Amino acid sequence: MLSEKLIELLSDGTKLLPDVVSAVIGTLYDPPAESFNLACQVLFTLEEINADINLNHTINERITSLVVNGEYLLFKLYESYGKINMNPFLSHFLYVYRDGLQLGVATDAASRLHRIQSTLISLFLSGEEYKMLESMSSFQFCERFDGLIRRVDYADFRVFNGAIGLPDTHIEAVSAAVDNVEERNEEDYRLMRELLGRAMIEELSETEIETTSRLMNNDTTLITSAIDLSPEAMTSLLKMNSDLGVSILTLLLTTDSRTEILDVLKLLPPTLFVLEMLNHLLVAFPPSHFLEKDEKSELLHSFLSNATRVIENHHCDEGEKQNISDEIGGQTRLVQLLCLFIQSLLRTDAIKLEDYIYEVQSLTIRFMYVPEARTLFQVAQNTMNERPKTGQTPRSGTRLTSVHG
């Protein structure tokens, strides 16, 4: 749940919407690393508020401001990704937009709040229209929202695993994901969505993991519709529930989401759980049976390049950081993990070093102070030195020295 401080900030109806967002982000020690967890807490809070409103019809100005500011925050946190298609909370926006439209002109307090949300989100979904919000507070928006709702063309969106082709009326139009939900067991979908949401922020019980596995194996459309495919979400899932995360990613690679999953994998940070998952995909399965040669090459080239940039920009979590040596120590651990991962792939002949020589040299030269990087750098140099003499690359396993962490 959100802290009292964050609830207080988000409940302020007098500040401009961008100023509220800035104030909330200002409470984070490391915004890039903490934004997804914050967004999940905001989403859960909004869903709890909506559930409480529907039951008790308890609404006041603070709650209304919290909802408006909260939705705006979910949008702004991922605005830098470009199109809203990349926002991990797009499914939430589409649901709220649809539900608000279905209320028509109902005037009770709960319906009014839902229509306020729907109108706000229509501005996010309609492109440049949201910029009018930059000069409004939540109070001002609630006073002016009538007449601001925009028509949303769902054909512009790609949700989960395909383009959405829908009727031309925005009231009846819903996303392909919502259409799929209506065709299957609604209870199973809601359970899957809840379990996946929690799996990204806490460890699930054995029973909950078994339930998730059963649901997704019985109906793969449940997982493709309910899963959040952003890099932040996948990283959190692998950290909190690594075995389940590997199972989910493995399953998704057999669906129409395969290309999208491979693109997400390229952007993951080189944490222990991510590297274990990649090793599982690259080594545990024969490449000819699981990843095509070109897919594996593109994935690794992009992942290694991105991982080096991630390490360069690494900052410790607030609870870990004591001084500058902790920052260096955090970088060192990531470099060690990545170098050991590369050496593992070389030992198992999963890759040839000459195919990734640029990425390996970039990593090892930048972090030469780390023993594992020096070892890998020497392996790379030996490979480069022998190529002109023999015209062949030595077998990777014969050149590797033992590494001591």
Residue 17: predicted pLDDT: 93
Please state which of the ranges 28-37, 151-160, 210-219, 259-268 shows the lowest mean pLDDT. Answer: 151-160
Residue 186: predicted pLDDT: 73
Tokens standing for residue 163: 């383009």
Tokens standing for residue 366: 């930048």
* Mean pLDDT computed over 49-68: 77
| C-beta contacts of 50-57 below 8 A and 24+ residues apart | 50/114, 53/109, 53/110, 53/113, 54/110, 57/108, 57/109, 57/110
Residue 284: predicted pLDDT: 56
Question: Do the beta carbons of residue 372 and residue 336 sit within 8 Å?
Answer: yes
Please state which of the ranges 7-16, 89-98, 161-170 shows the lowest mean pLDDT. Answer: 161-170
Which single residue is written with the structure tokens 């290309």? 259
Residue 88: predicted pLDDT: 67
Residue 11 banded pLDDT, cuts 50, 70, 90: very high
Residue 404 banded pLDDT, cuts 50, 70, 90: very low
How far apart (Å, rounded) are the C-alpha atoms in residues 173 and 339? 50
Question: Do the beta carbons of residue 117 and residue 100 sit within 8 Å?
Answer: yes
User: Percent of the chain, pLDDT > 70?
Assistant: 75
Residue 224: predicted pLDDT: 84
What is the chain's percent helix, strand, coil content, to nearest 5? 70, 0, 30
Residue 49 banded pLDDT, cuts 50, 70, 90: confident
Count of CB atoms situated within 10 Å of the CB of 282: 20
Residue 96 banded pLDDT, cuts 50, 70, 90: confident
Is the confidence at residue 87, as pLDDT, over 90? no
How far apart (Å, rounded) are the C-alpha atoms in residues 36 and 89? 10
* Mean pLDDT computed over 155-167: 37
Residue 171, SS3? coil
Is the confidence at residue 255, as pLDDT, over 90? no
Residue 312: predicted pLDDT: 87
Is the confidence at residue 93, as pLDDT, over 50? yes
**Can you give the residue ranges of every domain in the chain?**
4-174, 266-399
- String of DSSP letters for 81-147: GSSGGG-TTHHHHHHHHHHHHHTTT--SHHHHHHHHHHHHHHHHHTSGGGGGGGG-BHHHHHHH-TT
* Mean pLDDT computed over 49-71: 79
Which DSSP symbol is given to 148? T
Burial of residue 319 (CB within 10 Å: 0-12, 13-18, 19+) is exposed
**Residue 188 dihedral angles phi and psi, to the nearest 5°:** -60, -40
Which DSSP symbol is given to 203? P
Can you give the C-alpha Rg of the chain in angstroms? Answer: 24
* Mean pLDDT computed over 228-255: 90
Higher pLDDT, 350 or 153: 350
Which DSSP symbol is given to 30? S
Residue 83: predicted pLDDT: 66
Tokens standing for residue 334: 């990531």
Which single residue is written with the structure tokens 């702004």? 76
